[in-house]
Amino acid sequence: MSRKDFYIDGQWVGSKGTLTREIVDPASYEVIGHVSLATAEDVEAAVSAARRAFERQIGPEGLDVAARIALLRRIADIMERRQEDLAQAISAEIGVPISYARSGHAAAGAAHIRILCEEMERFSFEWMQTDTLVTRVPIGVAALITPWNVPVNQIVIKVAPALGAGCAVILKPSEIAPGNARIIAEILDEAGVPPGLFNLIHGDGEGAGAALSSHPDIDMVSFTGSTRAGVAVSRNAAPTVKRVGLELGGKSANILLPDADFAEAVAKGVKGCFANSGQACSAPSRMLVPQDRMEEAAAVAAETAAGFATGDPRDPGTDLGPVAGEAQWTRIQGLIESGIAEGARLVAGGPGLPEGLASGAYVRPTVFADVAPDMAIAQQEIFGPVLSIIGYRDEDDAVRIANGTVYGLAAYVQGRDLDRVRAVGRRLRAGRVHLNYPVLDRTAPFGGFRQSGNGREQGRYGLEEFLEYSALIGHGHG
């Protein structure tokens, strides 16, 4: 990346400090660039620019709803034109196979924005309630802290609704994968976002992240990442009583009811778990099957895992690229070893590099059967291509196991009897419950229960996160 890594007040600027971080290709461990890390002075400059821009936005010269929708549509148009640039950056930085970087990552940005524009056209920002005018107004200056695993998606579902609501924002993407965020900043600049309404800085959680979440002139922090980091953000934000939106970890259960087509349901469950190299917070990483169907499920899962082509993400034939880096690889290896040590039955994959690969952050597509619900691999978010198959006695037992973690982001239920599938789905404590592997609904609210976070993103629900209610009571008579 360039020495002018930050976008503040409508200009590309350099950091006030000298600290940088290497950008590493996880497929080869080759250093492919460096990115500056923000100092406290850099953070202050970004927050000040956003505060000034917000004051202009809520004044007479600010963008009204129609103008904000038009701006978002320009952003979506340019994002579609630069989709290949985004895909290449994502593939290089986090090892996503190029075909999936295009279809599953880069394409999501414009799709989310267009849906948001449609929602905004029918969204009520104000209405009369007896003699009171109830209005929904922008919350103010928002700090947006995003992760590396699905970077374009997570940036867009924060930046777009924040701008749509009328907020000013400071984006701090993951320092592991900063290149795609720079492209997005270039897109917003070309689209004509007024100076200061969007600002980009880079940095780590302990530095820039902590400075943003504790800053008194920031009204809201929207954070996606680990539960551990979400706790730190909440603590930093507490003294200034700012709003905090959190989308955190998950350990999603996938319940296969006895009448499910196991050949299809197990195979799709494995593919869902391994998508993005397993690096998805809503991945169906716990497959729950009737105890007497364990052998059948294990056989299908092992066969499906063996069919994954693991290798160079630039090869169009690759299904599974590396995980995001060496630290991530080492953590996943430790959890695979813990599964073996605790007595789970390894039916596919295992520790070490896949056959034929001598280096890189590649993980063998791994399936464990006969997993006990309290094992580490059934409780901890692995964030890699590792599936745990757990047996259950009956429906009540399945629901108990499914709800038996600290998380509650997503869940899955498969079966032929739709009434039963829905009944089981209603009992699951998760923000999204996917019934029979549905087509993705980008208008549905996304977020979690318990230690998976709070608040909701996507569609109108994401817009509402950045709005505050205000009531103008009476007729204004003296």
Residues forming beta bridges with residue 23, ordered by sequence position: 33
13, 141: one domain = yes
Query: Would you call 117 a catalytic residue per the annotation?
Result: no
Per-residue pLDDT tens over the stretch 39-76: 999 999 999 999 999 999 999 989 999 999 999 999 99
Instruction: Give how far Cα 304 sits from Cα of 90, 103, 179, 365, Å.
Output: 26, 22, 34, 10
> For the domain that residue 435 is a member of, what is the CATH number?
3.40.309.10
pLDDT at position 2: 59
The catalytic residue among 93, 247, 381, 457 is 247
- What is the average pLDDT across 316-345? 96
Q: Is residue 447 part of a domain?
A: no
- What is the average pLDDT across 176-182? 95
Residue 93's nearest CA partner among 330, 314, 245 is 314
316, 456: one domain = no
> For the domain that residue 12 is a member of, what is the CATH number?
3.40.605.10
Rg (alpha carbons) of the chain, rounded to whole number: 23
Expressed as residue numbers, the domain containing 211 is 6-248+452-473
What does the alpha-carbon distance between residue 203 and residue 209 come to, in Å, rounded to a whole number?
Answer: 7
147, 199: one domain = yes
Alpha helices in 82-205 (DSSP H): 83-94, 98-100, 107-121, 151-165, 179-191
pLDDT at position 240: 97
The catalytic residue among 117, 167, 273, 281 is 281
Q: How far is CA 79 from the centre of its chain?
A: 19
54, 180: one domain = yes
- Report the number of distinct structural domains present in the chain: 2
Q: Which residues contact 14 (CB under 8 A, 6 or more apart)?
A: 3, 4, 5, 6, 36
Instruction: Answer whether residue 477 shows pLDDT above 60.
Output: no
Looking at the chain, the whole-number percentage of residues with pLDDT higher than 70 is 99
In the chain the first and final C-alpha atoms are separated, in Å, by 60
Query: Would you call 41 a catalytic residue per the annotation?
Result: no
- What is the average pLDDT across 147-176? 97
Q: Is residue 68 part of a domain?
A: yes
Q: Which residues contact 18 (CB under 8 A, 6 or more apart)?
A: none
Q: Is residue 224 part of a domain?
A: yes
323, 191: one domain = no
pTM for the complete prediction? 0.95
Q: Is residue 446 part of a domain?
A: no
224, 266: one domain = no
pLDDT at position 133: 95
List the structure tokens of 102.
């295009």
227, 274: one domain = no
List the structure tokens of 327.
């630290």
Instruction: Answer whether residue 476 shows pLDDT above 80.
Output: no
225, 260: one domain = no
- Widest distance between CA atoms in the chain: 82
Q: Is residue 161 part of a domain?
A: yes
Per-residue pLDDT tens over the stretch 363-395: 999 999 999 999 999 999 999 999 999 999 999
Whether 456 contacts 132, CB under 8 Å: no
Per-residue pLDDT tens over the stretch 354-370: 999 999 999 999 999 99
- What is the average pLDDT across 141-165? 97
Q: In 3-state terms, what secondary structure has residue 8?
A: strand
pLDDT at position 478: 47
257, 152: one domain = no
174, 266: one domain = no
pLDDT at position 475: 73
pLDDT at position 4: 83
pLDDT at position 43: 97
Instruction: Answer whether residue 181 shows pLDDT above 80.
Output: yes
413, 364: one domain = yes
- What is the average pLDDT across 21-25? 94
Looking at the chain, the whole-number percentage of residues with pLDDT higher than 90 is 97
- What is the average pLDDT across 148-153? 95
278, 211: one domain = no
Per-residue pLDDT tens over the stretch 260-311: 999 999 999 999 999 999 999 999 999 999 999 999 999 999 999 999 999 9
Q: Is residue 321 part of a domain?
A: yes
- What is the average pLDDT across 410-427? 98
Q: Is residue 478 part of a domain?
A: no
Mean pLDDT score of the chain: 96
Q: Is residue 1 part of a domain?
A: no
Q: What angle do CA 203, 57, 36 make, to 5 degrees?
A: 15
